[in-house]
Structures are given as structure tokens and as C-alpha cells.
A and B are shown apart, each in its own frame.
Chain A
Amino acid sequence: MPSIEDWLSNPLNIVAEAFENRQNSKEWKQKVEEFFKNKISDEKLCSLIPSLNSTPLHLVPSTSLVRFRCMIQDSFEPEYFLETYEVVNKTTREKVIGTSCYKDVIDSPDGYDVIMESPQNETGCRQVLFCVSIPGETEWVKQFTLPPPPVQGVVTSNVSTKRSHDDEPMEATEEAEDDTNKRRNLTLPETSVDSPNLEVNHPLPWEKGQAAIVKVYDETMDFKVNEVYEFVGILSVDPSLSAIHDTNHDQVNGDCGHMEELKSRSPPASLVPRIHVIAMEKLSHNNPLLSNNVSSVPDPPSTTSDDLLDFIRKATLGDELAAQCILFHLLSRVYTRSGTMAVGKLSLNISGIPPNSPFPKLFADVIKQLVTKCCYLPMTLDNMNKLRFVPNKNYTKNKLEPGVLQLSNGSYLLLDETSLKPGSLDSSGVKNIRAISTLVTTQKVDYDFQFYQTPFYHDVNCVVLSEAKSMLPCDLHIKLTPGFPVPENLVDYFCSLLPPVEVLNKFRIYLTRGRMVEYDMEPHVMQEIENDFVSWRRDDRDNVSADDLHRLLVLARVQCASMGRNKLSSGDWGVVKKFDEKRKERMKT
């Protein structure tokens, strides 16, 4: 049995060994996979595998085992490769058979030549995916991934390097806490991608995420764009992969037109490494505090809900109702689709925020502490006109270029309308606004394939902060009315808000779990709802429409989820009715 170090740092040995002892062409791969699955299922061993999310690429040696938690940004055409090949010794004419599974390059030993025409050669096929680190993954999630064990001679001196991140004061406090709670023997010096290199296709241009080309050998897997996976595989950063960038045009035969495409398809391996997948898991959420299977998590203590509400109320400056709205919103999720309708989405509009206030940013920081994926987007004219929101297909590069709205399911999108100043939107700005509006109303984005558009379905919780009622059609609208005088220095106030990490963690678990929880209705509650609706309609036909019922039904689900239950009770329904009543009351005045 190979030692730990061996399977970690040189997994290809195991592959080669299995290949040599193979009985047929299929079975040995399964054996390899089983071997590694066994290792990975042991949490302790698994944590030994360096993760590309937290370890800079240059610290991980090539052909060693890595983990990567990522979102599929684009899928390429399947790749044909020499699965088995024969090499011949130039002098002795001795023939050896090898496999190029889990590697990019046939590394024939010195003095050997590959026989391309050998009858032993077999062509295989593997899926190729372009993956990026999860867009909008919040800082605490990133921090949480434990630093890897020291690999080789890791430089540990640059501990105090400040991460080049744009989060300000909140960040500082959080970092301090993190430092006290978890001793980090490594900081995260961002990979040196300072140059605006377009090869790293990250949806959020301000984020410096890792990207990788992931090759999967399981042909039966059906990958969809925007799904989140954790891959475990063999890292390949062979410099010859980027050779295309070194050769100039004349040397490559003929088709210069396809150079662009070739280049984009094989970006420098030092920036975009290749990962040959051995094991993978589809993630339903990226909360590191919870296992992937949410239903196995025990119920949180019932006080959490109140504590969390209390915490949010502080962030809403004492506005109870708004805090309730936000909690409901945090728990909402598209749980089914019917026709064009995304059932369960609850877009929120918080109005009454004065322009030029630091509130939206600070509020976003609070949200970022609670959720795992959050994107704060000030809707400035500049942003609206210049950023690419909708992913579009670039045919010269043969690549899907990401847009800001290419977010994985369960992301949180905070739109700050207060930063929209008078000015004119150009045509791309108008298109962008329209795209956001479609996302808010139907939870889908029409990706631009130039000749046509294809809808991609998302589940992104959208909240709009605005001065007056937002221009985007939201399901739930609440005007923020502070419960106490607004503190002079909002920044300081928000700094003082954060509870200790243990409490935050409780909130985080509570939210992720609440979001994912299954949902059902009792027949008698359904009956009750129907009766209520009929009687409202009888009393006030003009003001009660189907839309109101839609909203209430969504609210009922999140109320139920906030209680940690998965069956709607008539109590929940009562709470929801009262809540909406109060909200309507507020909106009238």
C-alpha cells in the first residue's frame, strides 16, 4: 500500500500501478477511483489535500492531488485523447504500453518514441469544463477552508500580508477575530493575476478568483453551467500546455483564424491549471459549517431565529418590520418552476434610504457575514454602462464570456439603486437594466449567443436598496423607518454590531439550513388559505389580486422555514397574514 505522501503528492504512481495490473480497459479506472474515494471519505485525510481555493497555485506541485470548490462557468467540447498508447525504445525496439488518463502530456521516457499508429492505441474521450471559484463567495467562507499542511518548503514569513481586498472596516474586525479563533499559519497571497488577464474568466470582474480547466473522465455525468462542484483531482501545470502562446503564427500550420480559439482554449497553465478529476461532489450549498446533505443537520435551537432577528434589527436601525422582511428574504429560494413562473422567489425592495449614505455598503457587509455567496452591486451609471451583465458567447475565442449575472444558485445579489445618479444609460446600460429586471421577475437570464438567446435559470436572491420605490419590479416592498435616531457615525455603529463568531456561525447554519429545508402544506391549512382568499376578495375585490396571494404563499413558506419546520401550520399562516397587514399599513402612510 502506498504511503500517505505518495497518494497525495504523486497520485499518478497509483494510477500507473493500477494500469499495469489492469484486467480490462474499464475496470482499472474504477479501482483508481475507489482507492481515492476511500481516502477522501476520511475527513482527516481529505483535509490534507491542498485546496486551490485557499492555496496559491505556485505552492502546489504539479501532478499532486488538489481540491477545488468551483462553479462551472462554461463547458467545452469533449476532448479525444490517446487513452492507451505504445512507446517504442529507439535503440532496443522494446515496446511499452502506457496510459494518458489523468494527464495532459504523454511523457515518453528518454529514448522512447510514441507510436501513433500502434494497434494498441485506444482513443478515449473526456469532458472538459471551465471552472471558476464560486463568484461572490464571502470572505468568511474562504477563510474557513483550513490552510493546507505545509507542502515542501512553504514560505511562511509573509503572515501579515494584507489581502488586497476591497472590504474595509468590517473586514478588519473580522480578520482580527479570525486570527484569534483559528490560528492561521498561512495567509492568502492572491495568485499573481494582477494583469487584467482575460483568460481567467471570472464572472465578477472585481474578484480575483482562481480558474481551472477541469477534465472529467466519467462520460455519463451531465454537467450544467453554473452548478457548483467540489472536484478532487490531479493537478497538471505542464508548461507545454501553454506552448501555443509562445509559438508565433507562422510556425503553426495554416489556420491562423483558429489561433484565437486555440489560445483561449489552452490558457497558460500557470494561470489556469488543469485538473484531472478523480472524485467529485455536487454541492447544494457552499457553507463549510454544514455537510452537503442538509437534512442530516440537527435542528438549530429555537432561539436562533429570535437572536438573528434581533441582530438584523440592529442593522436596520431598529426597524422590526424591515428586519422581518430581510429574514424572510434570506430564507427564500426558488423551489419549483411552473411555466414561466419561478415559485418561491421573493425579491425585496427596501426603500427610504437617503442617497449618498454609507448604509448600503455597510448593510451589504452585514449580509456578507451571514450568507455564503453575496454580490454587492452599486448601480452606478458607470457600472450599468460598462460592466457586462449577461454572459455572451465569443465565437472567435469559442468561449462563453461571463457576465455579472452568471451567479450560482443560492447567491445573494444586493443592488444599490441609491448610487444611480442622473445621467444617460447607453444601449448596453438599458440592456443591462432589462437583464436585471428579468432576473428579478422570472429568475432567468437570457445568455447571448449572438444568433439567438438561450434562457438559463437561476436562483438568486435579489434585494434592491433604493430611495423611493425601486424601478425594478420586486415582490416585497418595505420602507425603512429607523426605530431610533440614526447614529452620527454609521461606520462605527456597524462596527460595533458584529456578534462573536460562535453566534455568527449559528446564524450561518440556521440560514443555510432554513433555505434548503423541504416544504409542504397540510390540506387543512390549504383549505384555510383558500377560504381566506375568497373572503378577502368578497370584501375588497379591487385591492386583492392573485399577486397578493402569491406573495402570501411565498411568505408562508419562509415563515415556516424560519421556524425550522417543513410543514406549514395554520399558526404560520396567521403570522404571515399579520405581517403583511402591518407591512401594507406601513406602505400606506
Chain B
Amino acid sequence: MSSPDRRRRGRQTPDAAPSSDLDMLPPTSPARPVDLLDATSDSILAPQTPANISEIDLSSPLFYGTPSSARTPGGTALTPGRTPRGTMTPVRQRADLGSNNRVRVVNLQSDQNPEQSRHETIPEETEEELASSADPAGHLVIWGTDVVVSRCKTRFTQFINSFLPSEEDGAMETDGGDANEPMYLRKLEDISVTEEPYFEVDCSHLKTFDADLYRQLICYPQEVIPTFDMAVNEMFFGRYPDISLEHQIQVKPFNAERTKNMRNLNPEDIDQLITIYGMVIQSSSLIPEMREGFFRCNVCNHEVTVEIERGRIAEPSICDRCKTTHSMSLIHNRSLFTDRQLVKLQEAPDDMPAGQTPHSVSLHSYGDLVDSVQPGDRVIVTGVYRAQPLRANPRMRNVKSVYRTHVDVLHFRKKDEKRQKLYETADDDDCQIQFSKERVEMIRSLSKKPDIYDRLARAVAPSVFGHDDIKKGILLQLFGGCRKQLKNYAKTGSKTGMRSEMHVLLCGDPGTSKSQLLRYVHDKLSPRGQYTSGKGSSAVGLTAYITKEQESKQLMMQPGALVLSDNGICCIDEFDKMNDSTRSILHEVMEQQTLSIAKAGIICQLNARTSVMAAANPCESQWNHKKTIIENIMLPHTLLSRFDLIFLMLDPQDEAYDRRLANHLVSLYHRTQEEEEMDVMDSEVLKDYVAYARAFVKPRLTEDAGQELVQAYVEMRKGGGSGNKGGVTAYPRQLESLIRLSEAHARSRLSLKVERVDVQEALRLYREALKQSATDPRTGIVDISILTTGMSATARKRQEELKGALKQLIDQDKGRGGQGGKAGPTLRCRPLLDRWRSQTDQIITQVMFDEAVRALQDDEVLVRTGDVIRLC
């Protein structure tokens, strides 16, 4: 390898006096008089192998103990293409660890800790060989490292045999397996079943098991991983000798603790195992890379295969059989290739410091990892960081002093995989976000504060003054409820369930910073939001539209705002100005959380688990206090009832408010430095807090809270009805809202249980919102039926008037002292109606009269029996 920083860091320099002669496998390529044929761009300048260092071919079957190990250990007979019997598991070179599988081993003098060597047990397979040449007391260390192959193998074998996952890991990883069973042994068993020859190792497990081994893995992946390979293969074929795999098992470590932001990578990390997080932005087409060249002599047709060596294929310059020079020619069709792909990984947007452009890193993926990621995927990559000298033109004398860096990928972990595993968290993509330990700590400590809820609410759009309850509502919307999957449906994968997203509608006078709130939520808080204006958006703009792609002439579906903000918040300004057909789509989205599309031959249902946050202006530009919300914003009640919270943002006609507003604004303009620091929570913190809560906190209702909810609901149903008993005032939909709100509030405390306090706050906020939006302007009583049934408020109003008039009429009669009785005066309906008609110029129908009487009856002013009215 030509990695630049390697030797500097190596713990053992070659000068560390290798004593015994280890020439059991003579150094190969550097000594050979060969023409070099470039196969890859790496390893231009291969190091010279010092003569006193031997090489162990890690890909040799002797080291793997595969069934094929019975065959001759020459390099040529090993390759899979030529395996004579199908039952063999071929050994395939690992492209991801570079082409050099021969490891030079240095025998150190026994200046090492003697204790170590006593522990050392050399596995059978290698013992023979090593013993033959090396002094048993000697210490075989891979050149440039402190890795002892045998010891390393033993430790790793122990790890597989005995590692038990800790509690929380066990819950995550095992699928119903026994937690007391070593999890990696089970993985071996899995391999025997699935025949997928990849063995994934979580580095954090390795670390808890053996920190030193872990350190070696991180520092010398190039050497240690092949050693692990050997160990795993020995174990596997020892246990399942009859199984043949596509090729030998390859160890794929992931989750190295050296998890880094791309920006923090530095020369120290070269040739180490790193884990970085980012977004794939580009992937190249597949590049076939020659693994083994096939040569045939033009003279005598003698055939030779040459394996790749340090990135190059050495073209034999002389034919072994007929001794003609330069007669060998490469036969492409019979050469063997591995797949290689170049992938560009860019810093994820969330990691990017403000005001800077994102960094990117190129990745080289090999073999099975090719095409496993697509542009746009967010992935966690584990691999070896490499640097190569960049030489623009090999013929030039001057060497460019610059290196090119890339990562040889060992393992991709897509964020989505995790998501599928934990479907409960599936309602949120934010669980992708990895938080640093400190951040989690901070969030946790924040959540302990007693006033966290108020604190968080204050952090919502601090530049908007007042409107505390509205901010709380928005906060709860951000947190969201928990998705509930009905058990029967969960298995079939049907989407039936209860929505967890909350919808909030803000309506009110123009210029009351509704848009500012919306914008703030969209810009600063919502991880995946869309901002649209009702005026400018069409139905297709919100859902999806079909376009014909220019090149392929195929129909393509382009997602609209609602689909794009799946799992986010869709902010819709000027909600009232949206036309009816556009609005009608929202019905489905807001309750079912899906979008059905049937256009141009494409019929499908898309997920649109979107929280809608809308702002609407009253149709008369100024809120008319004499009208109900329905009349004011002219939205159908079917839509309104889907909003969990509807807030009115009115300009309070109040001098004290004006003063506070002025004070707030003025202070914006002369903020001194300290004040800024003291400022309420930073929006980033809030964002992380919300993301964390959404990802990790799934509160459940407690018995207590459930009781409270039931009680509140019952009360709402019987109590609220503004006088007319006929109207039901709360519907299950309201109960669902309350549950969501309570859950969201519990989340704000990072509590796993929904408790009484949560329900109480949810109720309070709900009432507060109702008080503003569902107040009957005539009676001043909160009446939810305005929202739920839309109970044409004009009718209500007229009824109110009629009732009043009738009451008056009756009172007149009373004053005159009509026919009296013990139970109070009685009236006959017919004359009463006639007299009423004569007194007013309105047309009073029989129905209207009946209604008015019934209303008065409800008020317990009178009792009607047939044609007779008895006053109470």
C-alpha cells in the first residue's frame, strides 16, 4: 500500500530487529522481472518488501480451513471461476481492503511482554507452518503494526463464541432469539441458512468485549479484518463443513466509534477504520476491475493467470513453456473482474455549519455493495480512509504534493433499514438523526426542568410577540402524537390506524404575524416542511402531477407539497383563498394520511403523513365578532373539524397589549450582545429536542390519564351544549385530538407515560382554542358544534331572535295576567302565533314558531303539551 501516513504511525518499525529467517513464502512480486500493467489507480508506488520479512498469504486456504484447503496452496488454483467441484467454497479476494492480501510478518525479539506470549495459542491450521520456520517463542507481528495474527484470531474467536449483547441491544437486534445465546454464533447460523457470506460485526460490541482488539481493528483494519476473516471462516466451516458458499465469509465491521463528521476527518485518520454519516449524491456506473488477468502465449498457447497485486496485474514477459519473450497477450473474456463503483457522499444538510458549503468524500464500494445505495439516500458508511498521491501525469518529473482521499467501503447502513426494524418509530424520519452524546445529555437535562414546556413554547418564533397558547399549540403539533396501529391491521400492513399528526389552523386579522409563525415553523423548526400559499397552489401542486420525461418519453410522477412533507409539516398560508377543488384533497390527507392519485394511467396511493399548519384570513378582511368562525373564514365545517386546534389571532383592542407590543418591537432593535445570549432557547436546540422526542419517546396512556380523558370527554358531551340539548357537542374526533395533545405534551417532558397533568394541559389548551374559535357570537358560549356540524349559525342566530321575540310576547301576556292556573298561566298556541304575526312584519311560519317554543321549553320557560302552553 502506498498510503502516505502509514509508516509514521506504525508502532513497530521494520528496524525492530526481525531475527529469524521467515522465508517460508518468498516475497513475490517486487523481485519478479515483470512489466506492470495498471489495473487500478491505487498503489502506484508499492513499498519494497524488506528481505527479512516474510509474507503470509491471508487468502490462502491454509488459513481459512475451508474444505478446499486440501488442494494445493498455490495461488493459481484458488480462484472461484476454476473451482472444479461445485461444492467448494471459493476464496475470493477482498477488493474493499485493497489488493494486497499478503501480509508481511515480522518476528520481534522477545522484548515484548512475555506474559502475552504465554497466552498465545496458535491455531492448528497455521501452527504447523509457523512452527516450522519461526521460533515458537518469537512474536509474529504484522509489519508496521502491533498486531499478532494468532492472538488476534484467538480473541476474535472468543468474541464470537461468548459475546452476549447488553440489554437494550438485545431488544433491538434479536428477533425473538434467546438473549443468553451468543449473538454472533447465531449470526453464523444465519449465514448457514441464508448462505450470504457476510458477517457483520458491531464494533461497539467488540469494544465492550476487548478494547485492545477494538483498537487494533480501528488502527489496522487492513491487517486485522483479514485475520477476522480467517477466524470466522475457520469457525464456520468447522461447524458447518457441508455448506458451500458463494465465496468465503467476509467480516463487515460497522459502527466504529470513530464516528465522524466528514468535516473532522484529518490526516490522522488515514488507513483507519472510520464511520461517517452523509447523503449519497452521486454514484458512478459500474466499473469492472480486473481481479485476475488471463494470459495466453501467442506462440505455444500456454495459458497463465495472474492475480492482481497491489493494484496491478503483472504481465508475464516470458512464456514459461516456450520461453518466448513478450509473447503473452491478455484475454479479456477469461479474465476475472470485480465490480467497483464510485460513490460521492456529501455532508448531510443538518451537519453543515451555517454559511458554509458542504464537504464531500468519495467512496469506493466493491462487490456486493455496488448499487446498494442510491443518490439521495442517507447512509452511515464504515470503511477505511485512504489517501493516494495524485499524479496528473506519471511521466512528469515533478510530483504533485497533493493526495486524493477516498473511503474503501466495508459497510453501508441505510438509515431506512433501522426504520423498518422499529416500526413504531416509523412515523418519523428524524430517528435518522444521530445525536452526539453531549447533545442527548443536554436534551435530557433540559427535560428535567419543571418549566420545560413553557420554555420550549417560548422558543417558538421568539420574534412574534405574545400568543403564548398558540405557540404551545404549535409546539405540541411539532411533537405530535403516537401512531396507533390497530392490531388486526398491523400484520396485513394496511395503513389503517389512527393518525398521530396534528393539524393547526390559525385564523385572524391580517397583520397579526400568522405568516411569520408559519414561516418560522417552516424555516427553523420543521425537519421536512413545505411552505405553500393557498392562493398560488393548485390541487396537483399539492398532491402530485404527471409529466412526460423528455428523454425516455415515460410518464413520471412528481410529488407535490403534501407528499414531499410526509412526516413533516406542510405550511399553507392563505388557506381561505384556496379553491374548493384543491381544498377537497385535504380531506383525505388530513384524516387518512394518504393521497390517492388516479391520473394518466397511474393509480396509486401515496403516504402523506403530514401535519397541516394553515393560516386563514377572514373573508371580510377584518374579523367580524358578530359572526361565527364558519362565516368569517368561509371554510366548510367538514374541513374545520379535522383541525385539532383552531386558534384565533385577533388584534386585541387593548392599550396594554399595544404597549407590550411596542416594547417588544423596540427591544428587537436594540439588542445588546448579552441579551442575545440570554435569549430563550436556540431554535437549533428546540429542533433537536423535538427530533429527539419524536424519535425516542413513545408515551403511552396511563390508567389515570385514561380516566381523566374519559371524564373530560363525557363532560364535553353532556355539558357544553349552549342550551340546545339536541346538539351533540363533542365527537370521537375530539377525543382523539385530546389523546394526541396529551401524548404530545408528555413527549415535551420526554416522559414515556401520559399522566394526568398531560391530559389537563391538553384539555386546557383545547378549551382555550375552542374558546377562541368556537364561541357562539350570540351567546358567548363555547359551542363545538359550530365546528363539528357547522350547524348553520345563521339559523341559530335567527332562532335566537325568534325565541327572544316569543319570550317577549309571552311576557306581555303574563303581565296582562292571562288565564291563570295553579301550575302557572297557560296559553293556546294558535292565538299566540296569530298575535305574533300581527305584531311583526316578518313571515313567521308554523315551523319557526314551533322551534321557538321548543327553545323556550329547553330554557324551562314553558311546557308545551299539544296545543296548550303552560308557563313555568
Q: Which A residues form the contact surface with B (CB < 8 A)? A: 74-75, 77-82, 85, 100, 103-108, 114, 116-119, 121-125, 219, 222-226, 238, 240-241, 243-244, 246-247, 251-255, 257-258, 266, 336, 338-341, 343-344, 393, 395-396, 398, 400, 449-452, 454-457, 519-521, 526, 529-530, 533-534, 537-538, 541-542, 545-547, 549-550, 553-554, 556-557, 568
Of all chain A residues, the one with the shortest Cβ separation from B659 is A534
Chain A residues within an 8 Å CB radius of B360? 77, 398
Expressed in whole angstroms, the Cα–Cα distance for A266 and B391 within the complex equals: 13
Expressed in whole angstroms, the Cα–Cα distance for A134 and B1 within the complex equals: 44
Chain B residues within an 8 Å CB radius of A104? 400-402
| A255 contacts B284, C-beta separation under 8 Å | yes
| A545 contacts B357, C-beta separation under 8 Å | no
Choice from A74, A123, A550 contacting B270 with Cβ under 8 Å: A123
Choice from B357, B398, B511 contacting A107 with Cβ under 8 Å: B398
Asked if B808 CB lies within 8 Å of chain A CBs, one says no
| B662 contacts A224, C-beta separation under 8 Å | no
Expressed in whole angstroms, the Cα–Cα distance for A75 and B353 within the complex equals: 12
| B513 contacts A546, C-beta separation under 8 Å | yes
Of B318-326, B602-610, B668-676, the one contacting chain A is B668-676
Of all chain B residues, the one with the shortest Cβ separation from A522 is B670
| B666 contacts A105, C-beta separation under 8 Å | no
| A338 contacts B398, C-beta separation under 8 Å | no
Chain A residues within an 8 Å CB radius of B41? 252-255
Chain B residues within an 8 Å CB radius of A255? 41, 284, 287, 342
Chain B residues within an 8 Å CB radius of A240? 392-393, 396, 398, 400
| A557 contacts B401, C-beta separation under 8 Å | no
Mark contacts of B351-362 with chain A using CB atoms, 8 A cut-off: 1 yes-contact digit, 0 otherwise. Answer: 011111111111
Expressed in whole angstroms, the Cα–Cα distance for A253 and B38 within the complex equals: 8
Nearest chain B CB to A219 CB, angstrom units: 8
| B401 contacts A339, C-beta separation under 8 Å | no
Chain A residues within an 8 Å CB radius of B400? 104-106, 240-241
Expressed in whole angstroms, the Cα–Cα distance for A79 and B669 within the complex equals: 43
Of all chain A residues, the one with the shortest Cβ separation from B654 is A537
Asked if B405 CB lies within 8 Å of chain A CBs, one says yes
Q: A530-B659, A546-B511 are in contact. Are A451 and B279 (CB under 8 A)?
A: yes
Chain B residues within an 8 Å CB radius of A251? 393
Chain A residues within an 8 Å CB radius of B489? none
Q: List 25 A-B contacts (CB under 8 A).
A: A77-B405, A80-B405, A105-B398, A106-B400, A116-B45, A117-B47, A121-B4, A222-B353, A223-B356, A224-B355, A224-B356, A246-B393, A254-B40, A258-B342, A339-B462, A343-B668, A393-B357, A393-B358, A395-B282, A395-B344, A400-B357, A455-B523, A533-B662, A537-B658, A546-B665
Asked if B778 CB lies within 8 Å of chain A CBs, one says no
Choice from A81, A125, A529 contacting B266 with Cβ under 8 Å: A125
Chain A residues within an 8 Å CB radius of B29? none
Q: A119-B8, A254-B40, A451-B279 are in contact. Are A247 and B405 (CB under 8 A)?
A: no
| B463 contacts A457, C-beta separation under 8 Å | no
Chain B residues within an 8 Å CB radius of A246? 393
Expressed in whole angstroms, the Cα–Cα distance for A336 and B676 within the complex equals: 10
Chain B residues within an 8 Å CB radius of A339? 461-464, 516, 520, 524, 683
Asked if B484 CB lies within 8 Å of chain A CBs, one says no
Mark contacts of B629-665 with chain A using CB atoms, 8 A cut-off: 1 yes-contact digit, 0 otherwise. Answer: 0000000000000000000000101010011011101
Choice from A78, A117, A533, A545 contacting B2 with Cβ under 8 Å: A117
Of all chain B residues, the one with the shortest Cβ separation from A117 is B47
Expressed in whole angstroms, the Cα–Cα distance for A542 and B653 within the complex equals: 10
Choice from A79, A336, A340 contacting B520 with Cβ under 8 Å: A340
Residue of B355, B389, B511, B663 with most partner-chain A CB within 10 A: B355
| A257 contacts B45, C-beta separation under 8 Å | no
| A81 contacts B403, C-beta separation under 8 Å | yes
Chain A residues within an 8 Å CB radius of B622? 542
Expressed in whole angstroms, the Cα–Cα distance for A537 and B556 within the complex equals: 54
Expressed in whole angstroms, the Cα–Cα distance for A556 and B8 within the complex equals: 63
Of all chain A residues, the one with the shortest Cβ separation from B289 is A254
| B355 contacts A80, C-beta separation under 8 Å | no
Nearest chain B CB to A310 CB, angstrom units: 29
Chain A residues within an 8 Å CB radius of B651? 541
Expressed in whole angstroms, the Cα–Cα distance for A219 and B267 within the complex equals: 12
Expressed in whole angstroms, the Cα–Cα distance for A222 and B666 within the complex equals: 33
| A244 contacts B392, C-beta separation under 8 Å | yes
| B655 contacts A534, C-beta separation under 8 Å | yes
Asked if B376 CB lies within 8 Å of chain A CBs, one says yes
| A534 contacts B658, C-beta separation under 8 Å | yes
Nearest chain B CB to A85 CB, angstrom units: 7
Asked if B519 CB lies within 8 Å of chain A CBs, one says yes
Main secondary structure of the interface of A (DSSP, over half): mixed
Total interface residues in chain B, CB < 8 Å: 81
Asked if B852 CB lies within 8 Å of chain A CBs, one says no
Of residues 344 through 392 on chain B, the ones whose CB sits less than 8 Å from some CB of chain A are: 344, 349, 352-362, 375-376, 387, 389, 392
| A457 contacts B45, C-beta separation under 8 Å | no
Of all chain B residues, the one with the shortest Cβ separation from A87 is B399
Chain A residues within an 8 Å CB radius of B215? none
Asked if B122 CB lies within 8 Å of chain A CBs, one says no
Nearest 8 CB-CB pairings of A with B: A339-B463, A224-B355, A100-B401, A253-B41, A243-B392, A533-B662, A123-B267, A530-B662
Expressed in whole angstroms, the Cα–Cα distance for A520 and B672 within the complex equals: 8
Expressed in whole angstroms, the Cα–Cα distance for A443 and B676 within the complex equals: 20
Q: A253-B41, A343-B669, A529-B662 are in contact. Are A105 and B401 (CB under 8 A)?
A: yes
Of all chain A residues, the one with the shortest Cβ separation from B288 is A254
Q: A108-B397, A456-B355 are in contact. Are A254 and B344 (CB under 8 A)?
A: no
Asked if B35 CB lies within 8 Å of chain A CBs, one says no
| A77 contacts B670, C-beta separation under 8 Å | no
Expressed in whole angstroms, the Cα–Cα distance for A234 and B402 within the complex equals: 17
Nearest chain A CB to B399 CB, angstrom units: 5
| A338 contacts B4, C-beta separation under 8 Å | no
Choice from B357, B376, B402 contacting A79 with Cβ under 8 Å: B402
Residue of A79, A125, A338, A533 with most partner-chain B CB within 10 A: A338
| A338 contacts B387, C-beta separation under 8 Å | no
Asked if B802 CB lies within 8 Å of chain A CBs, one says no
Q: A85-B401, A534-B658 are in contact. Are A457 and B665 (CB under 8 A)?
A: no
Chain A residues within an 8 Å CB radius of B5? 122-123
Asked if B832 CB lies within 8 Å of chain A CBs, one says no
Chain B residues within an 8 Å CB radius of A557? 669
Of all chain A residues, the one with the shortest Cβ separation from B38 is A253
Expressed in whole angstroms, the Cα–Cα distance for A357 and B190 within the complex equals: 80
Nearest chain B CB to A84 CB, angstrom units: 10
Chain A residues within an 8 Å CB radius of B344? 395, 398
Mark contacts of B385-428 with chain A using CB atoms, 8 A cut-off: 1 yes-contact digit, 0 otherwise. Answer: 00101001100111111110100000000000000000000000
Chain B residues within an 8 Å CB radius of A108? 397-399
Expressed in whole angstroms, the Cα–Cα distance for A568 and B524 within the complex equals: 32
Expressed in whole angstroms, the Cα–Cα distance for A122 and B8 within the complex equals: 8
Asked if B833 CB lies within 8 Å of chain A CBs, one says no
Expressed in whole angstroms, the Cα–Cα distance for A547 and B668 within the complex equals: 13
Of all chain B residues, the one with the shortest Cβ separation from A521 is B670
Expressed in whole angstroms, the Cα–Cα distance for A507 and B311 within the complex equals: 66
| B359 contacts A449, C-beta separation under 8 Å | no
Q: A106-B400, A339-B463, A534-B655 are in contact. Are A258 and B362 (CB under 8 A)?
A: yes
Expressed in whole angstroms, the Cα–Cα distance for A338 and B375 within the complex equals: 35
Chain B residues within an 8 Å CB radius of A547? 511
Mark contacts of B259-294 with chain A using CB atoms, 8 A cut-off: 1 yes-contact digit, 0 otherwise. Answer: 000000011001000000001011011010100000
Residue of B352, B398, B671 with most partner-chain A CB within 10 A: B398
Mark contacts of B507-524 with chain A using CB atoms, 8 A cut-off: 1 yes-contact digit, 0 otherwise. Answer: 000010100100110011
Asked if B7 CB lies within 8 Å of chain A CBs, one says yes
Expressed in whole angstroms, the Cα–Cα distance for A103 and B8 within the complex equals: 23
Nearest chain A CB to B106 CB, angstrom units: 15
Q: A255-B287, A546-B511 are in contact. Are A80 and B668 (CB under 8 A)?
A: no
Chain A residues within an 8 Å CB radius of B45? 116-117
Chain B residues within an 8 Å CB radius of A537? 655, 658
Chain A residues within an 8 Å CB radius of B281? 395, 450-451
